[in-house]
Amino acid sequence: MRIAMWSGPRNLSTAMMYAFGNRADMHVVDEPFYGPYLRRTGLPHPMAEEIKASRPEDAFEVQQSLLGPIPDGKPHAYHKHMTQHMIDGIPRAFMSQCTNVFLLRHPARVAASFVKGYGQATEDDIGFRLQAELFDHVRAIGQVPLVIDSADIRRDPPGMLRKLCEAMDLPFDPAMLHWPEGGHAQDGVWAAHWYGSVHASTGFAGPEGPLPELDGTAARLAEAAMPHYERLRALAL
């Protein structure tokens, strides 16, 4: 099985990669299209040059690698994808050979967190519009995409991870609930900028508090994202 997990940034996505990566039967891939995305857009992301150097493949080489033999003879692979990377020129054919899951987080939380690390953020940088577009693409190719909300996972990690695994016909493994402190061998080079809190963790944090109060750029981003979030949220496990 190849699992394609689709989320925007600041969305429990790294913790989910660590959860699946702690299974003995799972190989994980961290944001495989980040290099091609930066080369196509020229965006000044933090560590952009280091990221492009570490991910030299073009987008179609990335697609081939995602569909090729899974390393170390493992039966399953987990691909952590950022929806905002899937711009024109990034192939989508591989999605038909994956189990596609859409990971949500409330736009107010995403916007508040993301603008702290990237002040030039736009609506497309936080990924909700493309997340909805990719969801529709998966339905158009005949799959029933799965949707899960990070808030539900943080409220009940064992229950929600078990439910997700059952929906994918994958046995639940309690090893998913904890991981070693300090990161994963498959972390992208950008981990030094973005993954500090999850590197200090050994499991899922508890429920989040009240939604943040937003203004300026963060408020505009959250408002634009809400219709996309609400449509997918209605279909969550």
Residue 122 pLDDT grade (very low, low, confident, very high; cuts 50, 70, 90): confident
Give 230's contacts (C-beta < 8 A, 6+ positions apart).
Answer: none
Helical axes 59-67 vs 34-41, angle rounded to 10°: 170
Interatomic CA distance for residues 112 and 23, integer angstroms: 32
- Please state the length of the chain: 237
Beta-strand relationship, 146-149 and 26-30: unpaired
Name beta bridge partners: 82: 7
| Nearest-5° Cα angle at 79, 113 to 128 | 40
> Looking at the predicted structure, is the pLDDT value of residue 114 above 90?
no
Give the CATH class of 2-233: alpha beta
| Nearest-5° Cα angle at 174, 184 to 80 | 40
pLDDT for 57: 96
Name beta bridge partners: 100: 4
Interatomic CA distance for residues 24 and 6, integer angstroms: 22
Interatomic CA distance for residues 117 and 104, integer angstroms: 20
The rounded Cα 120 to chain-centroid distance in angstroms is 21
Task: Report the share of the chain in percent with pLDDT over 70.
Answer: 99
pTM of the model: 0.95
Domain ranges of the chain: 2-233
pLDDT for 156: 98
Q: Which of 27, 32, 214, 232 is nearest to 132 (CA)?
A: 232
The position carrying tokens 């150097």 is 53
Q: Are 157 and 203 spatial neighbours (Cβ–Cβ below 8 Å)?
A: yes
Signed CA dihedral, 66, 113, 148, 221: sign only = negative
Summarize pLDDT for 143-167 with one digit per residue, the tens.
Answer: 999 999 999 999 999 999 999 999 9
Signed CA dihedral, 151, 83, 127, 39: sign only = positive
First-last CA distance in the chain: 20
Q: Which of 137, 161, 165 is nearest to 150 (CA)?
A: 161
Question: Please, what is the average pLDDT of the chain?
Answer: 95
Interatomic CA distance for residues 30 and 189, integer angstroms: 10
pLDDT for 124: 86
For 130-168, b/e burial (b = at least 16 CB within 10 A) is bbbebbebbeeeeeebbbbbbbbbbeebeebbbbbbeee
Residue 36 pLDDT grade (very low, low, confident, very high; cuts 50, 70, 90): very high
